[in-house]
Amino acid sequence: MTANGMTRAKIGVLGAGAMGSGIAQVAAAAGHDVVVVDAHAPSIEKARQGLAKSLAKDVEKGKRTAADAAAVEKRLAFLGGADDLSAFAGCAMVIEAIVEDLDAKQSAFRRIEHEVAAECILATNTSSLSVAGIASACAYPGRVVGVHFFNPATVLPLVEIVGAITTDTAAVSAARALVDSWGKTTVLASDTPGFIVNRVARPFYGESLRILEEQIASVATIDWAMKEIGGFRMGPFELMDLIGNDVNYAVTKSVFEALGHDPRYRPSVTQRRMVESNRLGRKTQMGYYDYRDGAAKPAPVTDRALGERIVNRVVAMLINEAADAVQFGVASASDVDLAMTKGVNYPKGLLAWADEIGVSEVFARMQALQEEYAEDRYRPSALLRSMAREGRRFHA
């Protein structure tokens, strides 16, 4: 379970969906022979066609030569329509990218373990499930590690490397070194609900939804404020529509339940109603916006004072969450900031942003919210409180 000898080793990927096929392309582009297995034959064919299209686009844009694209395609083997995992024999690492269901993942890992050598690393791309829970299905849980890519895996640079309480440190080191060699930016996260990004990002959606529900501002106005004043690439409602409101709601619900129903992560009734009415966003042509042909996009209220009020509230909640992540050992301050800029394209690292605003000012904003609403949802992080009192910064 060391990085030595893994540079051009065979890699296995279980699951040929968007994430699995993207991971497979990344590994093949880095020079590995890759085998992709999916029991659903149509998924394999779709992945094969999608990969060919992606490589052709790279050639067209001058990102790689036609010969290089052909070589990448040649290193990929797709196996579908059969429930046989023996194709993973000889792999140095197998990455699972199937449905986000604990029973399904445990079953897959239990079966993969019988097909690979003892030194093979078993990696899960889970975004919200317990890595230790998945590893518990294995006779040798020490080799199971979280390797969480972001969609699209071929484009977004961040990968969260997650060691569970059961994971051998050698497996974490080897997995990180291998993914680093693929040109990705890795951060270390503890095996806690949502890891870094999906935990720290909750207020970006949740607090924006709360502002909408309070009728402080419209969907279009909140999105305008977060982009034009906050500097975010996409507004929260645009992004939820892109991700899929069902997916975003499921992650929020998972983190909420896994963290003991902490009110900070309580799912929004508005989002639940969107899911129940099948307004899932772009994929159903209806979400917070109407994506049907000829539909007009609503205009925002471009009031600067209102916009700053929105941004200050959401950013304070994001910083508060980032501070809690550091306090409870989810990740270091530098890795939290790196994760949020590289994983979800935030304009600044949240804790660097806190230093820029002033930690005491952020704490004051959180105190004001808690006094206004008298809800535990707005409790300031204990770390933020102590740093404000002592005049400390997150970064030197």
Strands 158-163 and 185-190: parallel
d(C-alpha 40, C-alpha 28), whole Å = 22
Q: Residue 159: which H helix or E strand, with range?
A: strand 158-163
Catalytic residue among 32, 113, 148, 248: 148
d(C-alpha 193, C-alpha 261), whole Å = 12
Catalytic residue among 198, 245, 320, 381: 198
94 pairs with which residues across the strands?
Answer: 12, 122
Place of tokens 């880095």: 30
d(C-alpha 76, C-alpha 66), whole Å = 16
Catalytic residue among 127, 128, 208, 254: 127
How many beta carbons lie within 10 A of that of residue 396, not counting itself?
4
d(C-alpha 296, C-alpha 298), whole Å = 6
Active site residue 160: yes
d(C-alpha 267, C-alpha 270), whole Å = 9
SS3 of 338, please? Answer: helix
Q: Residue 77: which H helix or E strand, with range?
A: strand 76-80
Q: Phi and psi of 94, rounded to 5°?
A: -120, 125
Active site residue 148: yes
CA 383 vs. chain centroid, Å, equals 25
d(C-alpha 265, C-alpha 252), whole Å = 7
> Edge-to-edge strands of the sheet including 76-80?
76-80, 34-38, 11-14, 93-96, 121-124, 144-149, 158-163, 185-190
Active site residue 127: yes
* Cβ pair 71, 84 in contact under 8 A: no
d(C-alpha 145, C-alpha 135), whole Å = 8
| H and E: helices and strands count for the chain | 17, 8
Q: Residue 294: which H helix or E strand, with range?
A: none
Catalytic residue among 160, 207, 238, 321: 160
Instruction: List residues with catalytic annotation.
Output: 127, 148, 160, 198
